[in-house]
Structure 1
Amino acid sequence: MSKIKINQNVLILHLTILIWGFTGILGNLISISAIHLVWYRVLIAAISLWIYLAVSKQQILVKRKDFISFIMVGGVVGLHWVLFFYAIKVSTVSVALVTLSSLTLYTSILEPLINKKKIALMDMLVGVVIIMGIYMIFQFESNYIEGILAGLACAFCASIFSIANARMVKKSSATVITFYEMLGAFFWVSVFMLFSGDFNEKMVLNQSDLIYLLILGVLCTAVAYVLGVAVMKELSAFTVALTTNLEPVYGILLAMLIFGQKETMSLGFYGGAAIVLGAVFFYPYLKTKIEKRKQDLVIRKIY
């Protein structure tokens, strides 16, 4: 692959992550509740992905067993987004994005447990560092405890569906999986709204909400997803994982730029955020270094 093509894909990857970071901004700008916001988002995303699959003439039918799995995981995705946008609305974009970074901590514990493997010592150490950073944020931002707890729960859900998707993507198309997960999220959120009475509340959108929701559903969900999958075919998994850790950084910078004083936090928050983001950012790098060293030792023993 030429150096120019690699650079183009890296730029596309950064653009995709910037778009993902913009999701939190839109969640703050949209005036409707978190549950209604997610209902509209997954509906728009499902329609957009269906159009994409139809235009690209991809096989959309799946086995019954896979269909049930996709729909169930979609429920977790829907809960994840409801918690994420709720965290934004009761705190700030910055708080929601930093607590979402605890995804690395949850995954380092849950993935070995689910796959019946031993938890790596380095994973545990990184987890401890992340806990220290989150504890520091708790200490200095006690007025945002509800948002912090929602963000942590949101990250837990993200870990669950990420582990599930890592298994399912080996057998099915990533785009098809996402399409059915959006349908699943729409179904489960609708069921919840039916029993909670949320459908009885005002769901009429004003002009700005409609525009923001279209951007959120089409650009930040469907288009960004397709771009993300496209670059994964050309770039290494390590490059993608390392660069994706910039999402909270981009999101926080955008929030500070757009919302100004509202997003200004205490020095303690930024200290805790630096600890969390630093651990998350260097985690893939350190893990790759350690695994490479182990491989080198094995090769030396052989020869």
Structure 2
Amino acid sequence: MLSVFLKLHLSVLIAGFTGLFGRLVSLDAFWIVFFRLLIGGAFVLAYFILLRKFKWLGLKGCINGMIAGAILSCHLILFYLAIKLSNVSIGVVCVSTIGFFVALIEPFVVRSKFSYTDVIYSLLAILGVLIIFGFDSRYRLGIAVGIICALFSAVYSIYSKRITNLYDNNSLICWQLIGGSLFMTILLPLYYLIEGQWSLYFSFSDAFYLLLAGIICTAALYLLQLQVLQKLSAFTVMLTYNLEPVYSIILAMILFNEASELNYSFYVGILFIIFSVGLKTTKSIHIENKAKTSS
């Protein structure tokens, strides 16, 4: 069991590292996502084909998986764009507002009871971002893009949750990555129309980091998550992943000295976000324990 928890925290650390590519790679957000999904998808697909675990999920299942992949692509583009417009710390903090959008959207999608406490707790995270937004004018565009990114992340989370229990998870991940790569390919003409050029000039270090993003931070991350979910509950994994932005910020401060780029408003804002996550975590633990007691 210890090895499973080590794998879980390793996967969270890898997930926390993904935001760093926004600064490590000189290419724009579109190309980072394009190569990350293409390389990661190729490795995951090859892995499951070799193990003979890649399956046709039926037309509806494959389309659902690819739609989820397209939504994931939009989230990732906005995520890296937010980092390019600000920095890693600001980007991951903005994405932490996902809980607010999930609390608003999920009841209408799954027709569950609307939770006012979830909305109130999530508003604390929004307040934290607004504090950063109001007192640090340098990163306002990045913050705005980061909040839109959180909205797409919430939509992806809700949509994936709906289809995960309907299909084989191994194959579903493959179809998501196929869908994401296909969606990015379809966007190529639009990218050229907006940019007026391909802007595809990268160094050896860019190529190395893109391989790292695809193989380790996409393929290996998904495979680790699958292994962990086979042994631990989705609830435990979800709570542990609350550490992801913490890992990202610590790594960014160590590697890029981002502490010098942030003023006091960032730290005040992040306290509100941490408090919000803590309240939601406490509520989730209470609900989980209550469910176990009643069963």
Q: Same fold (TM over 0.5)?
A: yes
1:209 aligned partner, one-letter code: D
- Post-superposition Cα deviations, 1:105-155, rounded to whole Å, max 9, x if no partner, equal 111111111112221122122122122212111112222111111111111
1:130-149 equivalences under 5 Å are 130-149=125-144
Aligned counterparts of 2:258 and 2:128: Cα–Cα separation in 1: 23
Q: In terms of mean alpha carbon deviation, does 76-85 or 280-289 score higher?
A: 280-289
Partner residue, 2:62: 67
Corresponding residue to 1:40 among 35, 40, 45 = 35
Superposition pairs of residues 161-176 of structure 1, within 5 angstroms: 161-176=156-171
* Match for residue 155 of structure 2 among 160, 168, 180: 160
**Cα drift, residue 284 of structure 1:** 2.7
Tell me the CA shift for residue 181 of structure 1: 1.5
* RMSD over equivalenced CA pairs, Å: 2.0
> How far apart in 1 are the matches of 2:202 and 2:44?
22
In the alignment, residue 50 of structure 1 is paired with which amino acid?
L
Question: CA 1:97–1:112 in 2, change beyond 3 Å: closer, same or farther?
Answer: same
SS in 2 for 1:32: coil
Match of 1:60, SS state, is coil
Counterpart position of 2:218: 221
Please give the secondary structure, in 1, of the residue aligned with 2:166: coil
- In the alignment, is the contact (CA less than 8 A) between 1:19 and 1:220 conserved in 2? yes
1:208 aligns with 2:199: no
Tell whether the 8 Å contact from 1:255 to 1:263 is kept in structure 2 after alignment: no
- Once the 2 structures are TM-superposed, how far is the Cα of residue 33 of structure 1 from its aligned partner? 0.8
Q: Cα distance, 1:54 vs. partner? A: 1.4
Per-residue deviation, 1:281: 3.9
| 1:205 aligned counterpart, secondary structure | coil
Correspondent of 1:19 among 5, 14, 18: 14
Largest Rg, 1 or 2: 1
Assess if the C-alpha contact under 8 Å between 1:80 and 1:157 holds in 2: yes
Contact 2:93 2:270 in 1 (8 A): yes
Kindly state the Cα deviation for residue 238 of structure 1 after the two structures are TM-superposed: 2.7
Q: State which of 121, 128, 135 in structure 2 corresponds to 1:126.
A: 121
Alignment CA distance shift 1:18-1:199 (3 Å): farther
Q: Would you say the 8 A contact 1:87–1:147 is kept in 2?
A: yes
Q: Does 1:233 align with 2:244?
A: no
Shift of residue 182, structure 1, vs aligned partner = 1.5
Alignment identity in percent? 31
Q: Which residue of 1 aligns with 2:107?
A: 112
TM-score scaled by length of structure 1: 0.90
Segment drifting more, 240-249 vs 271-280? 271-280
Q: 1:263 and 1:211, CA in 2 relative to 1: closer, same or farther beyond 3 A? A: farther
Name the TM-score, length of structure 2 as normaliser: 0.93
**What stretches of structure 1 of length at least 5 have no aligned partner?**
none
